[in-house]
Structure formats: C-alpha cells, structure tokens
Amino acid sequence: MCFEVKNKDLLGRIGKIKTKSGVIETPLLLPVINPKKIEIQPKEIFDEFKFKALMTNAYILKKYFETDVIKSGIHNFLGFSGVIMTDSGGYQILRYGYVDVKPLEIFDFQEKIGSDIGVILDVPTGWGVSKNYAEWTVNETLKRAREIQNYLKNKHITLWVGPIQGGNYLDLISFSARELSKIPFDIYAIGSPTEVMERYFFDFLVKMILTAKLNLPPNKPLHLFGAGHPFMFSFAVALGCDMFDSASYALYAKDERYLTETGTIRLKNLEYFPCDCPVCRNLTPKDLKEKEKSERTYLLMRHNLYVCWSEIQRIKQHIIDGKLWELLELRARAHPSLFKAFSLIAKFSKLFLKDTPLFKERGVFIFDNISVKRPEIISYRKKLVENYGKPEEAEILLLLPPPSTKPFHKSREFKLICKFLEDADFNLKDFHICFYTAPFGVVPLEIDDVYPLSQFEVGKPFKGEVKIEVAKSIIRYIEGKPYKLIVIYRDPKLLSDRLLSRIIKEKRGLVSIDVIKKPYSKDSFNHFIEGLKNIVSREFT
C-alpha cells in the first residue's frame, strides 16, 4: 500500500502517498514543467512555492535529452529534490496524433531515469470523436496496460499510473475503469478532460469523474490530467480526485491573465491587486505593465503559482473542518457553469454519505434549496427512517413547528407545550413530541441535540422544493410507526399544504390543526390545545 488516508469529507481525502523520493500529501497539485523551455526553475518551485511534486514529460526528455537524463537521473537533471511524475507522450498523441516511441520503450525509460511516478503510454480519446474511434482508444490503452502488467508484478521503484479513457462516452469510461482496476496500478488517472474544461463543460466533468471513481478501487489515488483553473480544484477534490497536474499558471501568464481563486483578470484591466503574495505586495499593476514582456510573464507565473498553492491549502483546511461543501457553494457562484456542476453534485449527494463524517467540529450552514441536498441532511433523514423507533408508551404523535432556540428541548416553547398539556389534564407519557423543521424534516425530542440537529444555521424563508421535502420527510417517518393518532400543528411557511392534505386524506388517524398567527403565540397555542382536546376525545371514545 502506497496510499494512506488521514481525513475525509465528501469524496475528498487528505492522504499520504509514499514514493522513493519521500512522502507527498494529497490533495496534490503538480505544476507542469516543459523540459525544453523551463521558465521557473524546479528548485524555485520546491524551495519558494513549497510544491513537493511536479510533472514533466518523459517523451520530450527522451527525444531531446536522453543520454544526459539517463546519466544524471531526472532529479539531478531538473535540479528538483521532490517527487517527479512523468507523462509518457499521451498529450503529444492527443495533439499531433503520433509519437515515435513504443509503449515498453517509454516505460523502461521512465524507470531508468528514476521517475517517482510514471504514466504508461496511453492513447487519449479526446472530445467529440466518433464512438468507434473512442472504443479503439479505450481498447488500445487497455492492450498496452495488459502488456505491461507482468512488469508491474516485478519489483520496481516507480509508482505506475493507469489512464482511463472514453472521452465523452460515459459507458466507455465505466468499462475502461473496470478493466484497468484489474491491473495492479499504484494510481489511476482520468484522461482527456482538457477540452471538457476548456469548454466549461463542468457538469459533464462531474459525470466523468464519478463514473470513473465508482468503478475503481477506493484504496488507490485518483489523478486528473490537466486540471486547469484553480476555481475548479475544490470540485475535483470533492468528487474524489487526489492528484492533478496543471500548466495553467504558465499558460495564463503568457496570455497576460492574472489568476484569482474565482476567475481570471486581464492584466490590462487591473488597477489594484486583490492578493497578498510577494509579487502583488511589491508591485502595483502599473509597475507590472511597464516591465518587459519576458519579466512580466515570469512575475505573472509566480503570482499564479501562489494562487494555485493557496487554493490547495484552503481545500485541505476545509476537509479538516468538514466544510468542503461550503467551499463548493462559494466556488459555484464564480461561474454559471460551475453552478450547474454543483447542482448536479447535489443530485448525487447519496454517493457522498459513506465518506462524509457523521460528526464535525463546526455546524452546518443552509443557504438555499441546493444546501438541503447536503450529505449530512440526506444521511439524517435516512437513518431516522431506518434506525429510529418511537417511545413504547406513546400513542399520540405531536408534530410541532420548530421553537426559536436550539436544542429544542431546552427552549421556552417546549416548556410552554408541556405546561399546556398538563393544564389540559393530558398524560405526558401518552404523547411523543417531535418537531418538524427545514431542512431536516422530523426531529424527535429525544435526539434533538445530536449533530447536526442543533448545530446548524439556516436562511429563511424556504419555499417550494424545501417545503415539499419537509412534508415527504414526515410521510417517510410516520409510515410503519404504530401511533394511534398523529396530530400536526401545521405552519404553512414550512409545510406544503397540497402534499400534506393528500397525506391526511390517505392515512387514517392523522389530522392537522393550522397555525392561526405565530405558532407559539398565546392565542395560537390555546387554539391548538382546544383542537387537540376535541380530536383526542373524538378518536379515543
């Protein structure tokens, strides 16, 4: 095992990958270095920017520097003491259609030069190709992977990556991942995402990553080739990508674009730097614009690397805090395509239940209808139906609107409820008091301080879908529960009237009393108690 997981949130993982050059921590971004044209020295990337790993191209090294790099080893050749991952020429195949090297030849070369992580010579599918061609790329990549399989079983010092192909055909991605998982690669990778990201098809990228992830061994790291802009790093991590490479810091700089965590800004449009990195602290935009083109590009590269590094650290801290979902909510507002992708992630939230911690150090923030799809909320509703049983003595379920303070059992309103019931000569043991609240639905009094039922903050009012979800939660809860009578004190701001009316019509022994003003005002609650007396008297005589 070369991979050890330390923390998880959603499908994001902080982990350790053991390589011959040391241990690297995920989520991991590997800046891409072109060995023919090194614009920022690898030593600078390691020492100043603290990147412990980088990626370069073994095919270019072999074509132009073969003798020197074999003689000195790749770490000495590049002057980099961290972990080096080498690509095999797949990008060149995607761009030019051909490379003059054989799969076993480039495999052997990467071992000889001492690559810490190597990639087999795959055939990238690309985007928008025919189904027949896509099938060929998948089968050809699998054929090459199987030819190398016997070498993988022997002792080797390089960790090997198996690339998943399929392009825009999810069935081929699924097949490719399943077949590759039968081969003992140390790391798996998703190929051909570059054009997807360049076109801002982030919703399809969600499908690509999840399709691959669900068909791979969970104990192996997953790499995403060509991750691009830092505003989508958190999405890649949340979907289960442990590693990704990016040349965006250099490509954007050459185009005079200044990276931020939420987008890019043309240098010519900048009047102020919204950043505190060393480049931005020591220069003004005017200073930078006045420099020579080569120096301007170099300084923009440095700034862009700082932004990428900071975003990775931010993602890690959000995993530690159990707040990766909140980071997605922030990043989703950076671009409509990201918001579309986030909406799709919310629809798949059941896939995150297993890996999202049950208890966290911080509460849950609920902003809108998408927030209601959080795994913590879905998990609670599921567990309430499957694992919770009502108190044995209770025959009457009282479903009440939420009090103004949490936990509910310590609230003024709950004490008021108990007093009203006692004053009306009811036996409290006959009643099971539960509250209904957005976004959780039914909250039994006995567990109302269990995380996250009291540890959340919510924006109000909720409308439409959320009100329907609360009503559905009530339906799922009361099905199969042996109450003789169910009384709902209905607040129309929280419960869907149409759906609730249907429930009452279909389920015997369920009645509703509507709130006439504020739920816990004296007049409203007197109205509720009088109604309750009449209902209990009618149902139990």
| DSSP letters spanning 94-150 | HHHS--SS-HHHHHHHHHHHT-SEEE-------SS--HHHHHHHHHHHHHHHHHHHH
pLDDT of residue 541: 58
Least confident of 181-190, 244-253, 269-278, 457-466: 457-466
Q: Which CATH class is domain 1-245?
A: alpha beta
CA dist 213 and 8 (Å) reads: 15
pLDDT tens-digit readout, 513-530: 878 778 888 888 888 888
Confidence band (pLDDT; 50, 70, 90) for 1? Answer: low
CA dist 511 and 503 (Å) reads: 9
Confidence band (pLDDT; 50, 70, 90) for 500? Answer: low
- Cβ atoms 223, 118 nearer than 8 A: no
Mean pLDDT of 74-85: 96
pLDDT of residue 475: 83
pLDDT of residue 478: 85
pLDDT tens-digit readout, 303-354: 999 999 999 999 999 999 999 999 999 999 999 999 999 999 999 999 999 8
CA dist 224 and 190 (Å) reads: 5
364-539 shares the fold of 1-245: no
pLDDT exceeds 60 at position 397: yes
Confidence band (pLDDT; 50, 70, 90) for 473? Answer: confident
pLDDT exceeds 90 at position 109: yes
pLDDT of residue 211: 97
Give the bridge partners for 167, in sequence order.
none
CA dist 93 and 102 (Å) reads: 12
- Cβ atoms 372, 379 nearer than 8 A: no
Q: How many CB atoms lie within 10 A of CB 355?
A: 16
pLDDT of residue 97: 79
Helices (H) and strands (E) in the chain, counts: 21, 20
CA dist 440 and 264 (Å) reads: 38
Mean pLDDT of 472-489: 85
C-alpha angle 413-416-418 in degrees, rounded to nearest 5: 115
Q: Tell whether pTM > 0.85.
A: yes
| Domain range summary for the chain, segments of one domain joined by + | 1-245, 247-322, 364-539
Element of type H or E holding 159: strand 159-164
CATH of domain 364-539: 3.40.50.10630
Catalytic residue among 9, 47, 68, 87: 87
pLDDT tens-digit readout, 445-472: 999 999 999 988 887 666 677 777 888 8
Q: What is the mean pLDDT of the chain?
A: 90
Alpha carbon distances (Å) from 260 to 29, 278, 308, 334? 16, 15, 9, 10
Mean pLDDT of 45-59: 93
Tally of CA atoms within 13 A in the half-sphere of 330 that contains its CB:
15
What is the percent of the chain with per-residue pLDDT over 70, rounded to a whole number? 96
What is the percent of the chain with per-residue pLDDT over 90, rounded to a whole number? 61
| DSSP letters spanning 444-467 | EGGGTTSTTSSSEEE-S---THHH
Q: Which long-range contacts (CB under 8 A, 24 or more apart) does 507-510 make?
A: 507/478, 509/483, 509/484, 509/485, 509/539, 510/478, 510/485, 510/486
Which residue did the predictor score with more confidence, 119 or 48?
A: 119
Query: Is 68 noted as a catalytic residue in this protein?
Result: no
pLDDT exceeds 70 at position 497: no
Alpha carbon distances (Å) from 432 to 297, 421, 429, 451, 452? 68, 12, 8, 21, 21
pLDDT of residue 493: 77
pLDDT tens-digit readout, 234-245: 999 999 999 999
Mean pLDDT of 40-58: 93
Name which of 271, 277, 337 is nearest 308 in CA terms: 277
| DSSP letters spanning 473-514 | HHHHHHTT---SEEEEEE-TTTS-HHHHHHHHHHSTTEEEEE
